[in-house]
Amino acid sequence: MRKWRRRTGHICQSVCCSENVNLIVLGDYKALSCAGADWFEEGIREKPDAAIVPATGDTPMGLYRELAERHSRGLIDTSQLCIFQLDAYLGLAQDDRRSLFGWMHRVFIEPLGIAESNVVRLAGDVLDPWEACRVYEAAVRAAGGFDLSVLGLGPNGHLGFNEPPSPPDAPTRIVDLTPESIVSNARYWGGEEHVPRHALTCGMDLLLAARRTLLVVSGTHKHEILHRAIEGPQTPAVPASYLQSASHVTVLADQAAWQGR
Ligand code: F6R
């Protein structure tokens, strides 16, 4: 933590450390993004061929920009990393700009110079998407599970598209999006009516087995769900609450998310 303070020049505060979850509150989004990049850099320095599952969504974008910047300065080596897609809309082609694969490609794969051969898709645009889920699971298991997982917190407590209710052993699967996720994703689609109703998601079982997890949470609108996720009961109604029993979880929240103002 001291290292983060020095690098970012922003105040950070370790609020509570349970056995599994280390919550760190940072002054603002910029500080959160730098701290997230530090976490990531440390993880891949320890394991240069790490298997990584990175979320899309707004929150990790600053972190990815920071990583891209460090990569362009030659500070981090990404050549051996293996990247797994976290989730996908059902039926959307991978080259569709709205696809989550396309998004991950633009903000993470390309800027970090990851080789295509080191990227594992969760394919939502194939004839048999259930089979695609099984193929994906097999690939994660063949890699020995995830070393690093970078997640955002859904407004309804989802992780990936593990919508509530999702038990901790929920597998990689096709899910129906909840009305809350449809509303929250409407901004990317030009209105709720355009948001796909179904998606594929990496399962809770694989996410909770990751060796290290980073959950990034920003903004006052995440205040209540953040507290429910890390302090509330572990329940399928808040899938992120199961991170309380995962190993080596770091939660980076900005003051706005932690204090609600
Ligand atoms: C994105 C994803 C979602 C988001 C979550 C938070 O791949 O799987 O779970 O991480 O909805 O999104 P933001 O960061 O936009 O608030």
- Pairwise CA distance, residues 191 & 22, whole Å: 37
Backbone angles phi, psi at 203, to 5 degrees: -75, 160
Residues identified as active-site: 87, 156, 158, 163
pLDDT in tens, the chain (261 residues): 333 443 444 556 666 556 789 999 999 999 999 999 999 999 999 999 999 999 999 999 999 999 999 999 999 999 999 999 999 999 999 888 889 999 999 999 999 999 999 999 999 999 999 999 999 999 999 999 999 999 999 999 999 999 999 999 999 999 999 999 999 999 989 999 999 999 999 999 999 999 999 999 999 999 999 999 999 999 999 999 999 999 999 999 999 999 999
* For ligand 1, atom 12: residue with the closest CA: 57
Handedness of CA 162, 166, 169, 174 (dihedral sign): negative
Q: Output the CA–CA distances (angstroms, integers) from residue 66 to 37, 78, 79, 152, in the order listed.
A: 6, 14, 17, 17
Supply the pTM of this predicted model: 0.95
Q: Check pocket membership of 239 for ligand 1, CB cut-off 6 A.
A: no
- Pairwise CA distance, residues 66 & 32, whole Å: 11
Structure tokens at 192: 């709720």
Q: Which atom of ligand 1 is nearest to the CA of 184?
A: 11
Strand 87-89 vs strand 82-84: parallel, antiparallel, or unpaired? unpaired
